[in-house]
Amino acid sequence: MTTPGQHTVPDRTPDNTPDTTPEKAPDSTPEPKTGRILEPQVRAVGSADETDTGRSPEPPREATPGRTPVLSVRDLHVSFRSRHGRGLALAVDGVDLDIAPGEIVALVGESGCGKSTLARALTGLVKPTSGQVLQNGKPVSYKARALKAYRRGVQLVLQDPTGALNPRRTVYEAVAEGLRIHGKAALGAFADEKSKVADALSRAGLRPPERFVKLHPHLLSGGQRQRVVIAGALVLDPQVLVADEPVASLDASVRGEILRLLLDLRADAGLSALVVTHDLGLAWNIADRVAVMYLGRVVETGTVEEVLTDPQHPYTKALLSVVAESGTEPVILSGETPDSAAIPAGCRFHPRCPLVASGEAERLGILDRCRTVDPAPLPAEGRHAACHAAG
């Protein structure tokens, strides 16, 4: 059995047990057998059930020198007119990020930090104000035909499967919609639409697919609805899934099953993913690398082990401190996240920074820099923290 402070995650073994219940019921996928054991510093919240084994998982897939990322952003900015029409809200303010083939990157941060806007920019739903989105090293064109082809390769999985699915359409119609938009080229080696849809449902864990194709969303459990949404993305054979809070609306009993499905898709098909979440436990369970975002900018990045077991930025430390069994006293940040239309001078985190509030920044001799010097945007690769105290 696991010891206090340990938590295992879904294994990367394909799920061979069909979810065949056509009525509204919890998913029946068996519990995972192996997984990554969480260090005492953090614990996954609301993910897979604990198991009796603690074998190490497969090594994370990191970007290697000379290997072209499947999806990248460079100096990306996305701004909107502010609520009262005065000035611009900088939702994304100079972000560099890489996603390597077969890699899962977690983008974490509290609500309002710009995570979802960055995800929408990556899927072509929002056009950047400046900067570039690159697919396989080539800049994305925003002309209609080129953007349509790009979206086929980068698919969005939304947070709420109930809202994402049309209640009047059957499962078959929901999954086939993408094929009908992109035409015969999207069928690939499949003879017809029916066989392609059946394959996507099977890959998403809805087996046998014939039991689900005629059902409407209200006849499915929450986990099954999310699998239908994922099948609708898989049917186009994307290179990258951008999953925006993919398990936030699901019961704890099925969250681990959806996370394991994403890991299986990576293991079986080399699928890459950007998982947007506020849950650091989820990031530990599923990600190879983590990017922590605050007020439109990435403030810390590195492998999941580096960031979550040895955080360098005080914002990351504060987020980790409130995770159950973190082993540290919770750090309560003062005030609310500043308005992105009025980003503070200097380090954007300094008005809420515990180092400034406690006098530690003054003792270190960096207080003036915290208040006047904005740390440079972080590069896409390597281990970095945008904090004057981190050196």
316-330: per-residue pLDDT in tens?
A: 999 999 887 677 888
353 touches 372 (CB < 8 A): no
Q: Enumerate residues 6+ apart whose C-beta is below 8 A from 70.
A: 99, 100, 101, 135, 136, 239, 240, 272
Give the Cα-Cα-Cα angle 326, 304, 352 (nearest 5 degrees): 60
Strands 130-135 and 384-385: unpaired
User: Residue 332: what pLDDT?
Assistant: 87
Q: Give the chain's domains with CATH numbers.
A: 71-293 (3.40.50.300), 303-390 (no CATH)
Q: How far is CA 387 from CA 152, 341, 371, in A?
A: 38, 22, 12
pLDDT value at position 66?
Answer: 56
The ranges of the chain with pLDDT < 70 are 1-66, 84-85, 325
The model's pTM is: 0.83
Q: What token pair was written down for 230?
A: 């994922």
At residue 325, φ and ψ (nearest 5 deg) are 60, 30
Q: What confidence score (pLDDT) does residue 337 get?
A: 83
Using the structure block, give the residue that is written with the tokens 């689900």: 212
SS3 letters across the chain: CCCCCCCCCCCCCCCCCCCCCCCCCCCCCCCCCCCCCCCCCCCCCCCCCCCCCCCCCCCCCCCCCCCCCCEEEEEEEEEEECCCCCCEEEEEEEEEEEECCCCEEEEECCCCCCHHHHHHHHCCCCCCCEEEEEECCEECCCCHHHHHHHHHHEEEECCCHHHHCCCCCCHHHHHHHHHHHHCHHHHCCCCCHHHHHHHHHHHCCCCCHHHCCCCCHHHCCHHHHHHHHHHHHHCCCCCEEEEECCCCCCCHHHHHHHHHHHHHHHHHHCCEEEEEECCHHHHHHHCCEEEEEECCEEEEEEEHHHHHHCCCCHHHHHHHHCCCCCCCCCCCCCCCCCCCCCCCCCCCCHHHCHHHHHCHHHHCCCHHHHHHCCCCCCCCCCCEECCHHHC
149: left (phi over 0), alpha (psi -120 to 50) or beta: alpha
pLDDT of residue 35: 39
Kindly tell me the burial class for residue 76, based on how many C-beta atoms sit within 10 Å of its own C-beta (0-12, 13-18, 19 or more).
buried
pLDDT at 325: 67
